[in-house]
Copies of this chain bind each other. A is one copy, B any other.
């Protein structure tokens, strides 16, 4: 089995990248240069017509969407500490958390620089952008108060939710929300920064 991951600098691909590093699986890396719109290049559109990162290519089969990639990595890395629980409700809660991140939190963030997914009007784009600190603060409030137990998302057990939360926590400052007001999320980010996988991944995509 050959596995190739295409993340990008400063993108949600960071979550899948950390997860596959945690998994112990062998993989190749093809970092997409989003600053030069490589995700819209002919060669990348053949991989993912949605023009988004990340994508995971496994023996020529392309898999997209972060929650799906995270679950796949955990399912095939059965010897890793990411192996999924067999109890369906625990697995479902992992899914629910990741779906909240992809469909609500990431979407709130995307209204800052990707508002043209939904509207072209300049004044509307500016209004969407201006509101991002408010909507992201509401998302982080919800994560802090209701969802992240600490030290990891589900308490003492590290899971595929943790790299995903970390990728999103990296947006605190740029989205205008003060992480110091979120002790659980702040500690989570610090704990992630100290993991060998995260140090290695951040180094790989910054060079």
Contacts and interface: CB of A to CB of B under 8 A. Distances in A.
Interface of A: 49-50, 58, 61, 63-69, 71-72, 75-76, 88-89, 91-93, 95-96, 99-100, 102-104, 106-108, 111, 117-121, 123-124, 127-128, 131, 135, 142, 146
Nearest to A94: B68
Q: How many copies does the complex hold?
A: 2
A69 B92 contact: yes
Contacts of A103: 65, 99, 102-103, 106-107
A142 B48 CA distance: 11
A88, A92, A111, A146: residue with the most chain B Cβ atoms closer than 10 Å: A92
B108 A93 contact: no
A93 B119 contact: no
Given A71-B91, A75-B92, 8 more contacts: A50-B142, A58-B89, A63-B89, A63-B93, A64-B96, A68-B99, A72-B95, A102-B103
